[in-house]
Amino acid sequence: MTRSAYSGCVTEKTAEVRRLLDRYLLEIVEAFALCPWARAARLGDEIAVDVLWGTPTVAMWVDSARGLLASPRARVAMVVAPELACTPADLRAVRDAVIPRVPSAGIADFHPEAPLDATSPARLVPYLRRSPDPMLQLVPLALLETVRAAPPVLDRAQQIQILNGLAVPPRVDVADRIAAVNHERVTGDAATVAARLAEIAADRRRSYARVGINTTL
């Protein structure tokens, strides 16, 4: 759902924002399996999206987040601000202000200019969150808990080692485990990831200029 969808009218601008977001979700997040629930949420029509225009206040971010999470179908909520001119640090400050006001969800910030730092799995995370527009993603804590409770996925060689007593079953936090897997996968194909992100960014510049979305507010 989008903000303009609430009034029953999806504008051309909103449609372009959603199209670019879908490219990122399909070509980056799903293509490289960066999120354990992304594909299932999309196929189940459980991704709720809202678009905030101009420079949203913290209250607007909070109102949008609460509205999206109120939907019983929403497993993942995304609040997008395509016209917001901000640095990654600015967006993190917005996230930090929203977190105590929406305590029912885990909140992550996504920014199109997040720098690449592949020196560790944790440092690579912001780069993988280079969505086309500044965005906050919210996932209900109840869903996060089910993922945290899930056992790690082991390949056949690891399973054989554990069964033979040659290795200890891993006890790694799910967030760290996902970050480690993503780091290995993405650094192994860094050129492809960078090229796709660049293509999406170029598409954004062209399409937003065409429909009149101002990204310098």
The ranges assigned to domains in the chain are: 3-209
pLDDT band, very low/low/confident/very high, at 6 (cuts 50, 70, 90): very low
Q: CA–CA separation, 69 vs 60, rounded Å? A: 14
Dihedral sign computed on CA atoms, order 93, 94, 96, 100: positive
Identify the pLDDT of residue 110. 97
3-state secondary structure of 133: coil
Q: Which helix (H) or strand (E) holds 50?
A: strand 47-51
According to DSSP, the residues that pair with 78 across neighbouring strands are: 49, 137
Confidence bin at 183 (pLDDT 50/70/90): confident
Query: What is the reported pLDDT for 184?
Result: 80
Residue 34's pLDDT is what? 84
Q: What is the pLDDT of residue 119?
A: 85
pLDDT at 54 over 50: yes
Across all residues in the chain, what is the average pLDDT?
83
Q: What is the pLDDT of residue 33?
A: 83
pLDDT at res. 9: 45
Q: Whole-model pTM?
A: 0.81
